[in-house]
Amino acid sequence: MRLGWRRSSRAEDRFETWIAQRHQARVLAGETNPVGSCPDEGFLQDLARKSKRIALSDPRIDHAANCPTCMARLLALRQENRSRQRKLVVILTVAPCLVIVVALVFVARYGVHRERLSANLAVVSQTVNLWHAGTFRGAQPGSLQSVSLPPAIVRLTIILPRFSEPGQYLVAVTRDQNGNGVVAEGSTKANANGEAETVSVRIDLRDAKAGAYFLSTTHEQDQTSYYYPLQIR
């Protein structure tokens, strides 16, 4: 006959009971002295694990059941095994949770990333009306509605100031009002729209930091530039 308990808590209870009963029988029979010499650690470990390698008829079991030294070691080993199994249970329980958490974080990040990516590529349409802006030249920015643009790809439509000439215009976002530090620019032909001339350019402000800039329009034929204060959000 061989030890064939399954590793369940009920089987463990039975094992405990069996050892206790065995021991009790010995004690009642007055055979409290262990038979033979102490078995090696390997055997005790197998016994603690209820290894199938051990036959119940093995005399070393009798010894272990009656020897205080072996019994103490056996109990310690069983305690170790139990805590190891508990750790395994914890790992098996926690690991799938961690996988789920990691997956959720990944999905959330990827989702956010995708959202950002599409937000990044979205073209924002914005119209700036300079119709009433005074035509101040060069270093004199006109006072006008505050122009504020997002840090995005902007389809910028500008209603040029009254009396603006038709023709090709260069529209730029610059750091200063002398045309230095061009952040973005686009060139287009003005469209006559009733009295007004409008230009519509696509400018990329994705890399622009929030702050104060200038929006300039330059008529390509006479090279006159007008600068207007601009905020990038």
For the chain, list the strands marked E by DSSP. 123-129, 147-149, 153-159, 168-174, 182-189, 191-193, 196-204, 211-219, 225-232
Binding mask 10-49 for Zn ion (x = CB under 5 A): ----------------------------x-----------
Measured from the CB atom, is 50 or 73 closer to Zn ion? Answer: 73
Among 70, 74, 160, 173, binds Zn ion (CB under 5 A): 70
Give exposure, 188-200, as e/b (b: 16+ Cβ within 10 Å). Answer: bebeeeeebbbbb
Measured from the CB atom, is 43 or 169 closer to Zn ion? Answer: 43
Q: Is 65 near Zn ion (CB under 5 A)?
A: no
> What SS3 state is found at 129?
strand
Q: By the 8 A CB rule, do 83 and 58 touch?
A: no
Q: Which stretch binds Zn ion (CB under 5 A): 19-27, 60-68, 92-100, 211-219?
A: 60-68
Measured from the CB atom, is 24 or 83 closer to Zn ion? Answer: 24
**Least separation in angstroms between CB 36 and Zn ion:** 8
Among 51, 69, 145, 221, binds Zn ion (CB under 5 A): 69
**Least separation in angstroms between CB 9 and Zn ion:** 27
**Least separation in angstroms between CB 13 and Zn ion:** 24
Task: State which amino acid sits at residue 8.
Answer: S
The partner residues of 128 in beta bridges, in order of sequence, read: 158
Q: By the 8 A CB rule, do 220 and 190 touch?
A: no
